[in-house]
Amino acid sequence: MDELDRRILALLRADAREPAAALAKRLKISRGTVQNRIARMQERGAIQGFTVRTRPELETTRVRAVMGIAIEGERSAKVVKALRGFAEVEKIHTTNGRWDLIAELNAETLADFSRALDQIRTIEGIAATETSILLATLKV
């Protein structure tokens, strides 16, 4: 991935629906170059999909949280693999300090959230967890 790919990705992060012709004009390159670069990044897995972001106030019924996860021994890879199997786990971050991982959770309902927590806590290799529900987003 070179600098042009990174610039295309930055523009797509801001607005993934922006037409290739508009991206090309902003970057001062051809539309074909933009389309080929995007296709190549998709094939390599650098772009894994396109999504919709909504304003937080539109998702007032969803339950969002962060979970700190301590891992026993050298089981990080297995724990991460297991966490990837949960639809409620949006992102997984490695970190330093008290927690080995931070997982961002997003569930449709409180019942779904509770079920996911119960199942995540039984993953072999997880020593401890601490979860905080996100009540409000102050800056987007």
Q: Map out the domains of the chain as residue ranges.
A: 3-44, 56-133
CATH of domain 56-133: 3.30.70.920
Task: Quick: pLDDT tens for 14-70.
Answer: 888 999 999 999 999 999 999 999 999 999 998 988 877 766 666 566 899 999 999
Question: Could you tell me the fold of the domain covering 3-44?
Answer: Arc Repressor Mutant, subunit A (1.10.10)
pTM: 0.61
Instruction: Please determine, for residue 71, whether its predicted confidence score (pLDDT) is greater than 90.
Output: yes
Q: Percent of the chain beyond pLDDT 70?
A: 93
Compute the half-sphere exposure of residue 51: CA atoms within 13 Å on the CB side of its CA: 7
Is the per-residue pLDDT at 92 higher than 80?
yes
> Are 126 and 68 within 8 A, CB to CB?
no
